[in-house]
Amino acid sequence: MKDVRYHISEKHGEKHGRAGGAPKKSDELQRFGVSMEGYLLERFDRVIEQKGYTNRSEAIRDLIRDSLVEQEWDENREIVGTVTIVYDHEVRELSDTLTDLQHQFQKLFRSTLHIHLDEHHCLEVLVVQGKGSEVKKIADRLIGTKGVKHGKFTMTTTGKDL
Ligand code: NI
């Protein structure tokens, strides 16, 4: 009887997940064992110590969260990110192009930080939020604009499903 009930609830969970909404969150802590080569674990311990983690569990939780954030992008759900660009504002039409893009897709832009680095260079950090595919596309266009010397898109999450 127990087996049957488990089977049913598992199937229900799967169906729920695929319907688009996030699967129900369980805050209950679960333990699981991990096997790996000793040298890997030693290197991992060194790295997490440098990063200031006090235990492996928290470091592994962060790694898992990070890979789930990547997955959100794959699933094309709502994401949040930042686009950082450095450009020479004297390059012809560059500032206009960047501003035009932001007006054209204004729903995706939540906030912008602009710093005049020197007489020529500007640094801009744009906070973007929206459907993964749209956000990625606009980030690529900003970074790929002629005259942008360096650009970086960093994706994070709305935090709802973590
Ligand atoms: Ni500037």
Instruction: Please tell me the distance between residue 124's alpha carbon and the centre of ligand 1 in angstroms.
Output: 8
| pLDDT for the residue numbered 72 | 74
Whether 18 shows a pLDDT value over 50: the answer reads no
| pLDDT for the residue numbered 8 | 33
**Among 124, 117, 129, residue whose Cα is nearest residue 148:** 124
Instruction: Please tell me the distance between residue 90's alpha carbon and the centre of ligand 1 in angstroms.
Output: 10
Domain map (residue ranges) of the chain: 37-75, 78-156
59-84: average pLDDT: 86
- Which residue, chain included where needed, has tokens 């897709």? 105
For the CA atoms of 11, 26, 41, 46, what is the dihedral angle to 10 degrees? 150
Instruction: Please tell me the distance between residue 27's alpha carbon and the centre of ligand 1 in angstroms.
Output: 46
Average pLDDT, the chain: 84
Q: Enter the pTM of the model.
A: 0.68
Taking a C-beta distance cutoff of 8 angstroms, is the pair 152, 84 a contact?
yes
Per-residue pLDDT band for 52 (boundaries 50, 70, 90) equals: very high
Contacts of 24 (CB under 8 A, 6+ apart): 13, 16
Which is higher by pLDDT, 140 or 157?
140
Instruction: Please tell me the distance between residue 86's alpha carbon and the centre of ligand 1 in angstroms.
Output: 9
d(CA 44, CA 55): 11
Instruction: Please tell me the distance between residue 155's alpha carbon and the centre of ligand 1 in angstroms.
Output: 24
Instruction: Please tell me the distance between residue 88's alpha carbon and the centre of ligand 1 in angstroms.
Output: 8
Per-residue pLDDT band for 25 (boundaries 50, 70, 90) equals: confident
Homologous superfamily assigned to 78-156:
ACT-like. Chain A, domain 2 (3.30.70.1150)
| pLDDT for the residue numbered 124 | 97
Instruction: Please tell me the distance between residue 117's alpha carbon and the centre of ligand 1 in angstroms.
Output: 7
Instruction: Please tell me the distance between residue 62's alpha carbon and the centre of ligand 1 in angstroms.
Output: 36
Instruction: Please tell me the distance between residue 9's alpha carbon and the centre of ligand 1 in angstroms.
Output: 57
Whether 80 shows a pLDDT value over 80: the answer reads yes
For the CA atoms of 95, 97, 103, 104, what is the dihedral angle to 10 degrees? -170
